[in-house]
Amino acid sequence: MGTTAALALTALPGTAAAEPGTATTPQQAAQLVAAASHELEVLSEQINEAREVLAQQQQAAAAAHAEVEQTRVELDALDGQIRQVARSAYTGTDDSLATLEMLMTSDSAEDFVSSLSMLDQIAGHTTGVLDDVSAAAQEAEQAQAEADAAQAAAQQTLDDLSAQEDQLESDIAEYQRQYAELTAAQQQQVQQAEATHSGETVAPAAVARPVAASGSAQAAVDTALAQVGDRYVWGAGGPDAFDCSGLTQYAYAAAGVSLPHSSRMQSQMGTAVSRAELQPGDLLFFYSPVSHVAMYIGNGQMVHASTSSQPVKVVGMDSMGGITAMRRIV
């Protein structure tokens, strides 16, 4: 459990407490916003994963606490009931009276010896059961301590990443302020350059309905495409705003498939496929380490929540550069 909580912390460019850069041209202003937005997306995905890990550790800690309580209840029940029977019958303070009673009520010496042997077995068995439960209680308490430590480590990781996020958001606000000072003509020039770089957005009406290989994949594709035009918000998972992994999680949830809200975690699910094997509903992953995910919809296109300045949209699958992983979820 401890290793699960050890989420890697990455010091991202722009997260230090230095003054944000200053643009001297419209292109530089746009580049500052775009670069910082990408850094925040990377950090946001790390935070998404940290939240997933923390939730897992909280569940593990709760289960460990319940296990400790259960073993304590069992131990108390054995000590208060079974052991008391054995004590009163064989090893208790009235041992001599119990033995005398057995002697007086036995039909023969053989019956008396047999009764003593049976009581000895009961006492031995009871002691063994108590020892087993006591050992289980100690193991459960150790597991509880480890689970609590793992939960604390996961919480610390999330807190550290959130502090980085606050600084980076402050930097982005400064970059956006600089961008806002551009003239309308300059902003239009920058937006056209960005559209050319990121791939042409396809209007929902122009996208032919993809045909997936399974009902679950079809439901996921249809749900993802229904979100085209929704806002991009870091850490959002719907229904009206999304980040990249929030969109794919939301889409597959509509198909009855549970995905974690983390692009890196999603990149380890399902089965790997090659580019030639891609089918609508497969997930495409970008960057190394993975920090962005999109859904393939066929014909060389994908739908994704790209970045803070863009809504959910359909673009060419190669518009973001190299794909680092491709997975089929169902």
Q: What per-residue confidence (pLDDT) applies to 265?
A: 95
Q: What per-residue confidence (pLDDT) applies to 14?
A: 37
Q: Whole-model pTM above 0.75?
A: no
In this structure, the strands spanning 283-286 and 292-298 are antiparallel
Domains (ranges, CATH) in the chain? 10-180 (1.10.287.620), 199-328 (3.90.1720.10)
Low-confidence ranges of the chain (pLDDT < 50): 1-19, 90-94, 96-97, 100, 102-103, 197-205
Q: What per-residue confidence (pLDDT) applies to 123?
A: 57
Q: What per-residue confidence (pLDDT) applies to 77?
A: 72
Q: Tell me which residues are annotated as active site.
A: 244, 292, 304
Q: What per-residue confidence (pLDDT) applies to 18?
A: 39
The DSSP call for residue 19 is P
300 — alpha (psi -120 to 50), left (phi > 0) or beta?
Answer: left
Q: What per-residue confidence (pLDDT) applies to 242?
A: 96
Residues 244/245/246/250 CA torsion (nearest 10 deg)? 110
Q: What per-residue confidence (pLDDT) applies to 215?
A: 95
Q: What per-residue confidence (pLDDT) applies to 250?
A: 98
Q: What per-residue confidence (pLDDT) applies to 54?
A: 86
